[in-house]
Amino acid sequence: KEKTMKSALNNVNSWVGGIVGLLKTVIVFFVFVNILYVTNVNPIGGIIELVDSFINGGLAGLLALIVFASFLD
């Protein structure tokens, strides 16, 4: 039973890692497209707004940002 749970968690971890990797690739793609062409998508502005929402949350927001960043690593 322990092997099954460990295997399931490893499977979920690999899926989440793949999704995060894909999202990073899409963000980098949109940054380069935004440099070359004028688009309605502003990935840098979206990232800035996300970080601002964490920072404006005070100490709790800063701690949430640290936890969020640790999941991305």
CA angle 7, 11, 13 (to 5 degrees): 115
* Chain centre to alpha carbon of residue 73: 9
Cα radius of gyration rounded to whole Å, the chain? 17
Contact by Cβ (8 Å): 22, 29: no
Model pTM score: 0.53
Q: What is the pLDDT of residues 20-66, one digit of tens each?
A: 888 888 888 887 887 788 777 777 787 788 778 877 888 888 888 78
pLDDT band at 1 (very low <50, low <70, confident <90, very high): low
Contact by Cβ (8 Å): 57, 64: yes
